Homo-oligomer: A and B are copies of this chain.
Amino acid sequence: MLEGLQMDVPLLVSTLLEHAERYHADIEVVARTIEGEVVRTSYAETGRRARRLAQALDRLGLARGERVGTLAWNTQRHLEMFYGVSGSGRVLHTINPRLFAKQLVYIINHAEDRALFLDAATLPLVEQLAPALRTVEHYVLMAPRERMPATTRLPGLLCQDELLAAEDGDYAWPSFDERSACSICYTSGTTGNPKGVVYSHRSSTLSTMLVHGFLGIGSRNGEQHVIMPLAPMFHANAWHLPYVAPMVGARLVLPGRNYEPDRLYELIEAEGVTLAGGVPSMWIILTDWLDQTGRRLSRLRTAVSSGSAPSRALMEKLAGHGVELMQAWGMTEVVAGSTATMAPGTADLPPAERIDRRMRSGRAQCGVRYRIVDAEERELPQDGVAVGHLRVKAPWAARAYFKGEGGSAVDADGWLKTGDVASIDPAGHLVLMDRSKDVIKSGGEWISSIELENLACGHPAVQLAAVIGVAHPKWQERPLLVVVRRPGASVTGAELVEFLSDKVARWWLPDDVAFVDALPMTATGKVSKLALRERFRDHVLPDAARRQA
């Protein structure tokens, strides 16, 4: 081979902030504090504080590669850590405070966090956990001096602003190997211990650089985009939006810990948010509140959605506000999995067909290779018909979990096992059918639990629905629909099956319907199908009962 004669400049996330510090210096970062106040800073100020933070970590004796944990919400202070920690060569470990205490203790010990940054909201939780944390030497409250608590059970609790005040900010972002770890996010599987995904500077920077174009925020014509990550910063790094916004000079709006719809709405409207990203349940809560109060979204145009499948009703409701819900597919193991684009040439589709396209989970991302395989690992055609286990390869996909614990992330050929079952059409649309572990195997064919759930949710009496496979003597598994009725509404199982009967193939219809008061949820706010399957393990389906009789 002949070597290219190009500069050996590494891809580092500090590049993104450094660019903003200089050329987007005055562009605002607007963030709620934990106390609920709205604070205005800028990328210049974010840079100044991030550099001081890097110096403070030097002073605390944290070496490059060592982990700094955060149990924190979407605040300005948390944003600074994305750069102050990672930019200085340490590894940012963002932690979901909603996890169970046992899981939190596990992952903090497993990541060997040497410092743990917390905020006023997570302080009581950390006080509980501290006795079990084996590696944390420094607890730092992300707060000004005047908000430090008078007493705490945390040993030697430090004040972030005091640490920063001791530094002068005269700090140059270091250069190092782009394959170095940048951050860690644990994915809380439904079984076993959480598994650590270790992002590199290369993977984070590459996907950030690539994705801004597909979000249409390149400011070609001088547009001032205003971006609000609803996805928490501990959820796959808020989908890299804290990296993307400074890079393109978008104003960044952070909701703190206030996810109540009225507080979100207040911020969205006051700051003129144009693009926000969050899971469907956030959009549902917001639009329900808009319905109840008769409020309108005036400047928001784009709702980026990922994490689970949004309903058509949600898309239509948002469209009524002039907001297009754009789906992209991703997961902790591959943050920018697909792009939230429409296929070239589809700009003039009628609105209903446009929503049809947006119901798919985005389109193939250049740089990500996709394959779908059957149970015997044979590759299936990407014809929009064949459905198989989705596998991906990308410079920004996990090749392993931290310390090799939690099983292999990839298959024998090195492809990431996404755990999703999907088809891919010739234009590159991903159509996610189900999670591999949730899809119902009926007589050698697959039934999508997700599709049945979404259809069932279209019934006016249904508040929540979950579909699980229940053992069946002849068909291996058959679908059971579990429903939480809306308060005051009434509907029978037979009525629901009837409701579904013209919407899916006959053999997809649930064999039974169970009504419950509530569905078991995971720590990340999804229905725990594991718990549900456990609960209905001995459930006997009517047809199966007849067969056994």
Contacts and interface: CB of A to CB of B under 8 A. Distances in A.
A349 interface: yes
A90 to B, nearest CB: 9
A198 interface: yes
Interface in A184-242: 197-203, 206, 209-210, 212-225
Given A23-B426, A221-B216, A225-B344, A366 B247 contact: yes
A198 B25 contact: no
A339 B354 CA distance: 31
A75 B215 CA distance: 32
A91 B24 CA distance: 38
A22 interface: yes
A89 interface: yes
Contact of A4 (B67, B199, B247, B367): B199
A50 B201 CA distance: 33
B344 A24 contact: yes
Interface residues of A, number: 97
A182 B3 CA distance: 9
A107 to B, nearest CB: 15
A179 B222 contact: no
Contacts of A261: none
A549 to B, nearest CB: 52
Contacts of A357: 222
B213 A214 contact: yes
Given A6-B198, A399-B6, A23 B427 contact: yes
A349 B428 CA distance: 38
Contacts of A181: 1-5
A6 B397 contact: yes
B344 A5 contact: no
Contacts of A18: 369
A363 interface: yes
Pick the most buried of A7, A339, A357, A363: most chain B CB atoms within 10 A of its CB: A7
A344 B223 contact: yes
A402 interface: yes
A9 interface: yes
A376 interface: no
Contacts of A24: 344
Listed residue (A209, A215, A348) with the most chain B CB atoms within 10 angstroms of its CB: A209
Contact of A399 (B7, B91, B343, B400): B7
Interface stretch (A284-292, A388-396, A445-453, A502-510): A388-396
* Chain B CB within 10 Å, residue with most, of A198, A367, A369: A367
Nearest to A348: B222
Interface in A352-410: 354, 357, 363-364, 366-367, 369, 382, 393-402, 410
A216 B225 contact: no
Contacts of A176: 1
Most buried by B among A66, A201, A218: A218
7 contacts: A1-B89, A4-B202, A6-B199, A8-B395, A19-B366, A222-B349, A224-B347
Given A4-B199, A6-B202, A222-B348, 5 more contacts: A5-B197, A5-B398, A213-B217, A219-B342, A224-B347
